[in-house]
Structures are given as C-alpha cells and as structure tokens.
Amino acid sequence: MKGTASKTKTTRAKTAKARNNPTSANSNRQDVYEKVTAKIIADLEQGVRSWMKPWNAEHAAGRITRPLRANGKAYQGINTIMLWGAAMEQGFSAPIWMTYKQAQALGAQVRKGSRGALVVYANKLTREEEDAKTGETALREIPFMKGYTVFNVEQIDGLPAHYHAMAAPVLDLVQKIESAEAYFAGIGAELAHGGNRAFYVEGSDRVQMPPFETFRDAESYYTTLAHELTHWTKHGSRLARDFGRKQWGDEGYAREELVAELGSAFMAADLGLYLEPREDHAAYLASWLKVLKNDKRAIFQAASHAQRAVDFLHRKAGFSIAEPELGDPDSAPTAADSGAEAPDTGATGAAITGEASRAA
C-alpha cells in the first residue's frame, strides 16, 4: 500500500508539472507556432500568400469579412489568417465559428466527422525563480501560446436561423469609394502624389503615392494606400515599431513588409475593399520564407503588429466595425493582446498542439 501511494503521488506530481509547463506537454507533436508557421511556409513556397486566399477564391460568397465568434465579435490578428485559410480549404462561405460546447449550448450539434479549425490565444505561466547572485526569489511571467478548436456554422445542424442569415448587402462602388475616401482622409497623414512608386518616407514622415488615375481602379489605389499607411504607423510618434532594419532587403525590412502586407489585408476586409496582390511584392517571398523558417514566432508577431497598426488607423479615422448581434451562448473574453486571442468560454482549455480535431 505504501509503495502504491508513493507511486500515485509521484505520478500526480509529474502530471501537475506537465500541466503547468506548456513547453513539455505534448513535446512529441508540433506545437502551435510550428503548425501555423509550417502551413504558411508551404503556401509561400507555392507562391501563395495565405492572407490573399479569400480574395482569390472563386467560390467565396459575398464580401470578405473578418471571421466572427459565436457572439458576433470579430477574430483578430493571426486567427483572422488561420480561419480565412480554413474556410477556403473546406469551401465555407459563412464567416461564423464556434466551439463544440457553444453549439451544444444553442441546442445544435456538430456533424460527425467534421474537421475543426485551430485558433490560438496568448497565456502566461507564473514561475518562482531564485536569483543566483542574491539568493532572493521572485515571480516571473512566461508568455506562451495555447489553442482550441472551432467549427464553422456550415458544419453544425440545428442552429438558430440567424446564424445562417445572408450577409448585409454590399455597398455599391460609388458608396464604397466615398466611404474609403472619408476613412483615409480622416487619418490625417501627409500624402504626396507623383512618380510611379508607392512608399513611406520616415524621415519626412510622408506617404508617397502615384497619381490616382494611374491605378487600374479605385480599390487598387486605396488598398495600396492601406499598405503604406501601415508603414506610417511605425513612426516613433505613433507605434514606434522597429525591427532593426539597416538596409533594403535585410531581415528587419522583410519583417516590416510582412506587417504592412497583413495590415492592408485586415484593412481591406474591414473596409469592404477588394484586395489584389501587388506584383512588386512578389520579390519579398524569398525574404519572408527565410524569416519564417528561422523564427517560428515571426508570423504571430507580424500579425500582432499588423492588428495594432490597423486598430490605430481605425481610431485615427473614427472608424468602428459593425458587428452582428448573434446572442451570447458563452462569454467571449477580450483578447490577451491585439494579436492573440483569448478563448471563448466552452473551449477545451487544454493546450492544443495544432492538430485539427474532428467531431466524434
């Protein structure tokens, strides 16, 4: 009996240690960072930018929007990219996602065999550490990423009808352009027009754009401006974003361009603009691949910075996203930060290594 009790105590201690140490749990499987980064690398190696997929999909119904939680709140940061990709791969046009338990709370059921999608959120582990020199102990917070599985409403039977309602009518082209013009004018950035290149000059804090009439259409002009204004947010008087760029094409340059790429995609979705890949950005693919292969957290950091930039620009423009009221099957806490999401209540709660789960 004594030996059995001792063995049980040891097992419990190991279990508790693994539970509180996300780096050791499930160590034989891909972690969240590796899973997401590997997928985006695979896309880039095929010449495909994951964040461009929704605009290229022929089957996409209605305008491109942010993926939505069960209560109508929009996902942000890296989760936007991940759920856009999941929707494209499985052919979903509905933007709403929820956990298995949330579906049950609504009296609905995820269809057997349905493949869920991974979403992530930031968490922190508090650990007591001893200073080797002084012998004093102090608490240290260690950030890490956790995940849980959500299902698209097209995979769920028995949901209330409003979860399957058609999207609101899209603004006509004139209304869309007027809305975009008001948005960008409200930001108040210094713009100059001329030449044949779009770029941001940090020294003079100015965005340079080719003349409006040289663009193929108005949406191309505004999505290009969205990209350059994402760069504009890095100024020291704004978000003070600095990746240590020393010259054109180095790692710091590649990281900043990735932030601007994601920022323009997020902004296009929020403003209802059609986003088309800029041909001059194809040259960045190799540098992005190098960054992502060397740092599995790079895409998460880029998405987080891009989300902060878009949030900043929205505030400057006095813009807010209209979110549908879908009820509240479970509370949805606010994000731990602007780039990584907090979980909806009803999530599994366990650290997910990135393998898409299926409904039993």
pLDDT tens, position by position, 280-314: 667 788 899 999 999 999 999 999 999 999 999 99
The answer as to whether 329 is a domain residue is no
Q: Which residues contact 172 (CB under 8 A, 6 or more apart)?
A: none
Order of strands, edge to edge, in the sheet holding 117-130? 97-98, 137-152, 117-130
pLDDT at 198: 95
Average pLDDT over residues 311-325: 87
Task: Kindly indicate the confidence band of residue 176, based on its pLDDT and cuts at 50, 70 and 90.
Answer: confident
> What is the C-alpha to C-alpha distance for residues 109 and 98, in angstroms, rounded to an integer?
11
What is the chain's percent helix, strand, coil content, to nearest 5?
Answer: 45, 15, 40
Task: Kindly indicate the confidence band of residue 30, based on its pLDDT and cuts at 50, 70 and 90.
Answer: low
The answer as to whether 299 is a domain residue is yes
Tell me the residue range of the domain where 92 lies.
Answer: 22-317
Greater model confidence, 118 or 18: 118
Task: Kindly indicate the confidence band of residue 123, based on its pLDDT and cuts at 50, 70 and 90.
Answer: confident
CB 60 within 8 A of CB 274: no
pLDDT tens, position by position, 185-240: 999 999 999 999 999 999 999 999 999 999 999 999 999 999 999 999 999 999 99
CA-wise closest residue to 352 among 101, 88, 121, 152: 121
Q: Which residues contact 166 (CB under 8 A, 6 or more apart)?
A: 62
pLDDT at residue 336 is higher than 50 = no
The answer as to whether 270 is a domain residue is yes
Task: Kindly indicate the confidence band of residue 145, based on its pLDDT and cuts at 50, 70 and 90.
Answer: confident
Greater model confidence, 53 or 247: 247
Residue 298's region, left for phi above 0, alpha for psi from -120 to 50, else beta, is alpha
Task: Kindly indicate the confidence band of residue 14, based on its pLDDT and cuts at 50, 70 and 90.
Answer: very low
Task: Kindly indicate the confidence band of residue 330, based on its pLDDT and cuts at 50, 70 and 90.
Answer: low
CB 284 within 8 A of CB 262: no
pLDDT at 29: 44
pLDDT at 158: 97
pLDDT at residue 55 is higher than 60 = yes
In three-state secondary structure terms, 302 is: helix
Average pLDDT over residues 89-113: 94
pLDDT at 183: 97
Q: How many domains does the chain have?
A: 1
Greater model confidence, 116 or 282: 116
Min mean pLDDT across 29-38, 109-118, 244-253, 344-353 is at 344-353
pLDDT at residue 271 is higher than 50 = yes
Q: Report the chain's mean pLDDT, rounded to a whole number.
A: 81
CA dist list (Å): 109 to 72, 98, 104, 112, 160:
19, 11, 6, 9, 12
**pTM for the full predicted model:** 0.79
The answer as to whether 16 is a domain residue is no
Average pLDDT over residues 76-94: 91
The answer as to whether 269 is a domain residue is yes
The answer as to whether 322 is a domain residue is no
Task: Kindly indicate the confidence band of residue 31, based on its pLDDT and cuts at 50, 70 and 90.
Answer: confident
> What is the C-alpha to C-alpha distance for residues 104 and 359, in angstroms, rounded to an integer?
12
pLDDT at 324: 67
Average pLDDT over residues 176-185: 93
Chain position carrying tokens 């790429």: 261
